[in-house]
């Protein structure tokens, strides 16, 4: 049992990123069946059997592949998250359903309506993973010329989220009377218009879906920076972050949670869940064999989108190859990711894109554990006890076998130690995670 009596929260992603780099060839990896509802329903059923808190579907508005070779050798297709989670709502009962939607290429009214609908259909299990789309790769799939500039997207996203929350609040709890005798369907004093007008948005309201069962579907955000910590303390319910060092994770945890009081929020109103990569076996030796098998399948040449993400270079737009000389940073905005990395590269004597990428790759990634269920549980228990995390979002290397390993090997060991639940408690995802139901912004109630 955790010395604080706390229990771990656990979620699982429904994609296996390593599959895109060659892991799709693994004997236990799903390929085209990953697009079928029956397959996704089996995964959801397995997650629910393991009492996982929610399923998490990442997304981006482009294919990772950028070259003929990458289309030939990499897996580049997946399902749209809200559609998938809506389908899974019908075949699950308890597990939460988290879908990723970008604020950059959507409208607040659409997003508010989709997630309110999902929350009603699932009985209070919906969650929105809020992202801002960056770079040109996704923007090239959207016309209109009215998108916020890169440097404006954080403020644009903040306004977007505030509008969505106000739309969820536009019908108060109990606004719908539906009295057949009197003929009164709704109490108009409990229905509110936003009448919002700003640089990017004009939203009159109200929403045409009543207030969601959770008040607001659970809000997930990802990041680590100081500005992100402040934003998350103000508006996020769950933080998904990439921390693989215990001391850094403890600092992030304490610093972010201490900011909650300024927004009238309690310590437990924000759940911090770093990403988790596992290769687990019945014995440490079996886990290492699994790791070696995966490594043999993965291609040694990294995908250009990963290189772009880590270095801050737009490889496709600049026409760069992995062996290209590092370009000068003089034309980059001050403080840009690449400008900072180029300075580091110069200090270390790195000359090519690949040399910089490999250097950055060594310090990049989620908490990664290879070992037996007991070894995995030791690490997760330590992070919980030392307040480095409230839980983890598991990112399988291979599906469906990776989820099976979590549920069949790791979860029983966590339950044996008394640090993971043996059954679901609470009616909604918020209740199960211990996150307060938000007050209505129009009434304060």
Mean pLDDT of 132-137: 73
Say what angle helices 37-49 and 81-89 make with each other, to 10 degrees: 60
| pLDDT attached to residue 50 | 98
d(CA 432, CA 424): 7
Half-sphere exposure of 314 (CA within 13 A, CB side): 11
- pLDDT per position as a tens digit, 352-365: 998 888 777 766 67
Q: For residue 136, is pLDDT > 60? A: yes
Say yes or no to pLDDT of 390 above 90: yes
8 Å CB contact between 268 and 239:
no
Q: What is the mean pLDDT of the chain?
A: 89
- Tell me what pLDDT residue 183 has: 96
For 34-50, how does the pLDDT look when each residue is reduced to its tens digit (9 = 90+)? 789 999 999 999 999 99
Q: Which pLDDT score is estimated for 347?
A: 86
| Range list of H helices, 90-152 | 108-122, 136-139
* pLDDT above 80: residue 144: no
- Report yes or no on whether pTM surpasses 0.85: yes
pLDDT confidence bin for 264, thresholds 50/70/90: very high
Q: What is the pLDDT of residue 299?
A: 62
**pLDDT at residue 72 tops 80:** no
Average pLDDT (422-438) is 96
pLDDT band at 19 (very low <50, low <70, confident <90, very high): low
pLDDT at 331 (0 to 100): 66
Give the model's confidence band at 337: pLDDT under 50 very low, under 70 low, under 90 confident, else very high.
confident
Question: Is 140 known as a binding-site position?
Answer: no
Whether 2 has a pLDDT exceeding 60, the answer reads no
Contact assessment for residue 372 and residue 281, using Cβ atoms and an 8 Å cutoff: yes
Per-residue CA distances from 360 to 272, 274, 351 (Å): 24, 19, 14
Q: Is the model's pLDDT at 7 over the cut of 70?
A: yes
Check pLDDT > 70 for residue 239.
Answer: yes
CATH superfamily of 9-282+367-433: Luciferase-like domain (3.20.20.30)
Residue 100 assigned to a binding site: yes
Between 303 and 366, the more confident residue is 366
CB neighbours of 286 closer than 8 A, spacing ≥ 6?
372
**Binding residue per annotation — 127?**
no
Lowest mean pLDDT: which of 224-228, 389-393, 403-407? 224-228
CA dihedral (144, 145, 150, 151) in degrees, to 10, reads -120
For residues 91-107, average pLDDT: 96
User: What pLDDT score does 146 carry?
Assistant: 64
Measured distance CA(218)–CA(158) in Å, rounded: 16
Percent pLDDT > 70 in the chain is 91
Mean pLDDT of 174-196: 96
- Residue 24 above 70 pLDDT? no
Tell me the DSSP string of 193-211.
Answer: ---EE-SS-EE----SSPP
The dihedral sign for the CA sequence 151, 270, 396, 380: positive
- What Cα–Cα distance (Å) separates residue 67 from each residue in 171, 317, 322, 388? 48, 12, 12, 40
Range in 141-155, 308-322, 367-381 the model is least confident about: 141-155
Residue 245: closest CA among 222, 214, 213, 274: 274
Residue ranges per domain, the chain?
9-282+367-433
Q: How far apart are CA 307 and CA 313, in angstroms?
A: 8
Q: How far is CA 110 from the centre of its chain?
A: 20
């Amino acid at each position: 049992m955790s010395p604080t009596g706390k229990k771990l929260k656990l979620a699982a992603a429904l994609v296996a990123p390593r599959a895109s780099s060659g892991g799709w060839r693994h004997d236990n990896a799903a390929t085209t069946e990953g697009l079928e509802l029956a397959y996704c329903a089996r995964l959801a059923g397995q997650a629910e059997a393991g009492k996982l808190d929610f399923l998490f579907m990442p997304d981006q508005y482009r294919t990772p592949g950028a070259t003929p070779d990458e289309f030939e050798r990499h897996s580049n297709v997946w399902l749209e998250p809200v559609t998938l989670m809506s389908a899974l709502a019908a075949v699950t009962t308890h597990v939460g359903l988290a879908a990723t939607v970008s604020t950059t290429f959507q409208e607040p009214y659409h997003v508010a309506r989709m997630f309110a609908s999902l929350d009603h259909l699932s009985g209070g299990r919906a969650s929105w993973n809020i992202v801002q789309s960056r770079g040109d790769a996704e923007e090239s799939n959207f016309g209109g010329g009215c998108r916020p500039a890169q440097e404006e997207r954080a403020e644009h996203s903040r306004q977007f989220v505030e509008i969505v929350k106000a739309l969820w609040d536009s019908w108060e709890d109990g606004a719908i009377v539906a009295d057949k005798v009197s003929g009164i369907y709704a109490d108009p004093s409990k229905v509110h218009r936003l009448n919002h007008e700003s640089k990017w948005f004009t939203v009159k309201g109200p929403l045409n879906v009543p207030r969601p069962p959770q008040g607001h579907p659970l809000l997930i955000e990802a990041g680590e920076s100081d500005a992100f910590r402040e934003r998350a303390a103000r508006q996020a319910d769950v933080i998904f972050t990439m921390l693989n060092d215990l001391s850094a994770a403890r600092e992030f945890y304490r610093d972010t949670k201490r900011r909650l009081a300024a927004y009238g929020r309690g310590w437990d109103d924000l759940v911090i869940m770093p990403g988790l990569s596992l290769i687990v076996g019945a014995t440490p030796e079996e886990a290492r064999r699994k790791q070696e098998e995966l490594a043999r399948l993965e291609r040694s040449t990294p995908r250009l989108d990963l290189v772009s993400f880590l270095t801050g270079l737009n490889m496709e737009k600049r026409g760069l190859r992995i062996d290209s000389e590092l370009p000068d940073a003089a034309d980059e905005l001050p403080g840009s990711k690449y400008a900072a990395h180029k300075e580091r590269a110069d200090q270390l004597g790195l000359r090519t894109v690949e040399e910089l990428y490999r250097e950055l790759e060594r310090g990049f990634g989620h908490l990664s554990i290879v070992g037996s269920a007991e070894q995995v549980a030791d690490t997760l228990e330590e992070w919980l006890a030392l307040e480095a995390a409230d839980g983890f979002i598991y990112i399988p290397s291979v599906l469906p076998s990776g989820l099976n390993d979590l549920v069949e090997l790791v979860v029983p060991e966590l339950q044996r130690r008394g640090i993971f639940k043996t059954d679901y408690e609470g009616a909604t995802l918020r209740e199960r995670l211990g996150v307060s139901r938000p007050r209505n912004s129009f009434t304060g109630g």
